[in-house]
Chains A and B, each alone.
Chain A
């Protein structure tokens, strides 16, 4: 655990996104300070998932995607000349909405897959496997079956395995795109606890549709909204307490109190 890299501050400046001719995000400015958990909330289709994908350059994999603006990792532009997509993704990990462990690999190989896929050298890997699984609080459940296929796990376990897989890469920032939307309340609680523990060693950005979850896990919250036929954008950004208990914008107030969305 002592070899962990430091958490970093991630800054998004004037992010606008297009799919083909259609603009889906307009002028998003957000700062994700080191060791803080930021929740992105808002109704479906407002561009939260699209935005989070611009933060580790997964956005550019979609055919026809376009982007304006910059994302800075500790002051360095991840779209700049000194960075390429692969090295960005090594530093900024991502957990997806649907658990996606590699079905042809064992639990152990899933954890080590990031290191192998990015061509890093490592020893026998035992320590990395145990540390990563412990950090994702799934070690006790799988320690006796590390050589089983990953798809033999339950949905909640698969998602924690995917978190552990990202953690094995020791990222400075972890992006989570609705990580609990396919999970039962028990698994959700465990992942939320994991998020809390992880924030001591990394910066976390989480997209969620669950207001209670945003309140439980995050330090700051950004509310995204897209009016009919206009690109999405950030309506309000502040501390989680302020967004939920004293929103300035009427639309934020309506959304967090369940009046729409």
Chain B
């Protein structure tokens, strides 16, 4: 109404034609020269990328920076090149993993593959038969049990580490960090040796127990950070109203840290859901569907991947890729669901706010 319309241009993004030309040149010439070098000298492509392209690109950018802004332009230009180069590098690296998983896994993917078990499948069976249904069930059960036990434990540890003024805190934090460096196969061996000593049969719960020391440090550390981010003002406000410590914690601090605690849960699940070695040692594998984690054989996705990946048959390889894709999708779905449910409340408050302002 009374306001001037927003200008279409951003005056600080002033266009200097000569500089634009330099920048275009500086981004084309190094690629061109590197390509020439590869064609004529048959240089290894990775060596060319790091040894020829990156230095050339840095040099070109620094030259442009220097001609435009003098000395201070050099540092800026170099930083921009390094950031873009390595960001692209990592992006390509990560996305190539995803692309490989999806393209290879897609060969095996079908509703049959996701829903059926592997009971009549041999290495030569067509991909139209058999699947990872039993492994999905097993993974969800075993990881679910670990999560049910670990999350309360981890949050309890985090509460202790943030709320207590005891001096043993430092020791416990150090120990937690040390455990997070524990090789997962050692966790598996540890539980297996206990089972052998006590004469327990290998089973799903043993797998859950082996995963626990791997998940606990992650949950405890992330939950500790989440609780630490809650302003101390809120705790004081609650106590000043006459709250006992436990009510201040459960009614004020815990709700305020909710989304951080969900992150702790997610990172914990992500840490263990793909763990293979502990499960291979503690959980007997199976081709049929089993819901019983307390005795007998039960399959998990990582064990399935391992089993088929070590086979030479093409269809087996495809099954391994497919199972890995299922595992990744499962993690993505779990993350999406957890994020959605932990976010609903703030979304709700936003919509009421919008209503109120209308």
Contact = CB atoms under 8 A, between A and B. Distances in A.
Interface of A: 56, 58, 61, 63, 85-87, 89-90, 93-94, 96, 98, 100-105, 113-114, 116-119, 144-145, 147-149, 152, 162, 165-166, 169
A118 B352 contact: no
A89 B349 contact: no
Contact of B236 (A61, A86, A114): A61
B353 A149 contact: yes
B70 interface: no
B317 to A, nearest CB: 50
A117 B242 contact: yes
Interface in B310-333: none
Given A61-B239, A90-B242, A118-B241, A102 B233 contact: no
Interface string B336-358: 00000000010001001100100
Interface of B: 165, 231, 233-234, 236-244, 247-248, 251-252, 255-256, 258, 345, 349, 352-353, 356
A100 B232 CA distance: 10
A58 B240 contact: yes
A149 B349 contact: yes
B241 A169 contact: yes
Given A58-B240, A103-B256, A105-B255, 11 more contacts: A86-B242, A89-B241, A93-B240, A104-B255, A113-B252, A114-B242, A117-B243, A118-B247, A119-B247, A144-B356, A145-B356
Contact of B242 (A61, A104, A147, A169): A169
Contacts, number: 89
A102 B237 contact: yes
Q: Is the interface of B mostly helix, strand, loop or mixed?
A: helix
B356 A89 contact: no
B155 to A, nearest CB: 17
Nearest to A94: B240
Nearest to B251: A117
B241 A117 contact: yes
Contacts of A169: 241-242
- Most chain A beta-carbon contacts within 10 A, residue among B239, B247, B356: B239
Contact of B241 (A61, A63, A113): A113
A58 B241 contact: no
Contacts of A61: 236, 239
A100 B165 contact: no
Contacts of B248: 117
A89 B247 CA distance: 14
B47 to A, nearest CB: 54
A113 B256 CA distance: 14
A119 B238 CA distance: 12
Contact of B233 (A90, A100, A105): A100
Nearest to B252: A102
B356 A148 contact: yes
B211 to A, nearest CB: 32
Contacts of B352: 145, 147-149
